[in-house]
Amino acid sequence: MAPFLQKENWQHWCLPIIHGFFAQTRCSSFGWSFSVALIARRSRFYAGTRYRKRGLNVDGQVANDVETEQLLCDESTRHLACGHVMSFVQIRGSVPLFWSQEAAAYNPKPPVVYPLCDPTLSATRRHFVDLLERYGTPQLVVNLMKAKKVSHAQTETTRNPNSSVMSL
């Protein structure tokens, strides 16, 4: 797509869109005017519905990856070139291991299944290398899995990401 976008008049043929969400609002605090924007971009690589897509694929792309960017724009200058724009990016996605859950109408919490064995964590490593290339450092990894013991498989899924990240 990059060569196409470098051509003249590409705007006549291509409309930039995202699979995600955008919202913007103007705010004022103690006489300071600013805009706040929220942009959520959903990845196209391993998207799917809950229970249908879990874990990561062999290329290191996690299921249901969403990049959320919060922008704060100082409106007092009206010039973006002056550097009065602040950005904070968060990424959320499935636990970067090979795991899945079979959706079933009769079971609201299906068991966790580990379909592939990856003892060297090569796909998990690819995932984190990609994050470092895209966003640089520092990065903070937060495990949002429930810590209370629900089942042995869920406990293993909670423990595995922690040990995987530490071993990388």
In a domain, 7, yes or no: no
* End-to-end CA separation in angstroms for the chain: 33
Quote the tokens at residue 59: 């290329």
pLDDT at position 132 over 80 = yes
List 36's β-bridge partners, or say none.
Answer: 25, 72
pLDDT at position 69 over 90 = yes
Instruction: Using a pLDDT cut of 70, give the percent of the chain over it.
Output: 78
In a domain, 25, yes or no: yes
Domain hosting residue 64, numbered range: 18-167
Quote the CA–CA distance of 2 and 58 in Å, as a whole number: 26
Quote the CA–CA distance of 92 and 145 in Å, as a whole number: 12
Q: How many domains does the chain have?
A: 1
In a domain, 5, yes or no: no
List 101's β-bridge partners, or say none.
Answer: 112
DSSP 48-78: --TTTS-SB-TTSPBTT-EEEEEEEEETTT-
pLDDT at position 14 over 90 = no
In a domain, 6, yes or no: no
Instruction: Tell me what the mean pLDDT of segment 57-66 comes to.
Output: 89
pLDDT, tens digit (0-9, with 9 covering 90-100), for 113-130:
777 777 788 898 999 999
Quote the tokens at residue 132: 């470092």
